[in-house]
Chain A
């Protein structure tokens, strides 16, 4: 089936450790996005990429890093510099300037 796959669904991390969240899409979309959602809140944009080997910071990029080496993949690394990383992370993709399709999310908990 075509779609966006995020893994893992649940992730636990010790404080001070980096962790990488996976996002893969087989929709042949050029653009990919990472959002963060805190309980009871809307989605906030972390990073987005319009094309391979290019990405831009969103509104809350501090403490996060991304790469876009392949069209299908847009992994997000939550670094130890992110002060409050516990959240629900959502990945999305879209064709140029069309509706975005979202994955089912990864719930990250720092223990």
Chain B
């Protein structure tokens, strides 16, 4: 079963920041938080991942709370092409289970013109 909880859908205005929350209250110490997105009828695209520190790359920022029970993916200036389903995934860093990426239902983000 997926170990994360996300809102079913969200929307934001083009050019504004999109903040997508994820709850992972049962996360353990060796588990990473990964974010992917899927544009309709395409394969998921990796966005970012982190363990406990905040992370930033050219696509997004990932803010992880100090207790690591939740995180927020931030798209700083959303565009229409960011409309997609966003998946938050918890993944072990060691052992056989580290190979398993378990997807939940994700958040459907709609960016409005």
A residues contacting B by CB (< 8 A) are 4, 31, 33, 35, 41-45, 48, 50, 56, 58-59, 88, 90, 92, 94, 96-97, 99-105, 107
Contact = CB atoms under 8 A, between A and B. Distances in A.
Nearest to A40: B105
Interface of B: 2, 34, 41-46, 49, 87, 93-94, 96, 98-106
A26 B42 CA distance: 19
Contacts of B43: 4, 90, 92, 102-105
Contacts of A96: 98
Given A42-B104, A42-B106, A50 B99 contact: yes
A56 B100 CA distance: 10
Contacts of A50: 96, 99
B49 A44 contact: no
B100 A58 contact: yes
Contacts of B102: 45, 59
A102 B99 contact: no
Contacts of B34: 99
A44 B93 CA distance: 20
Contacts of A48: 99-100
B93 A97 contact: yes
A45 B100 contact: yes
A44 B105 CA distance: 10
A100 B102 CA distance: 12
Contacts of A97: 93-94, 98-99
10 contacts: A4-B43, A33-B99, A42-B2, A42-B104, A43-B103, A45-B102, A48-B99, A97-B93, A105-B41, A107-B41
A20 B69 CA distance: 41
A90 B44 contact: yes
Contacts of A43: 44, 87, 103
A96 B99 CA distance: 8
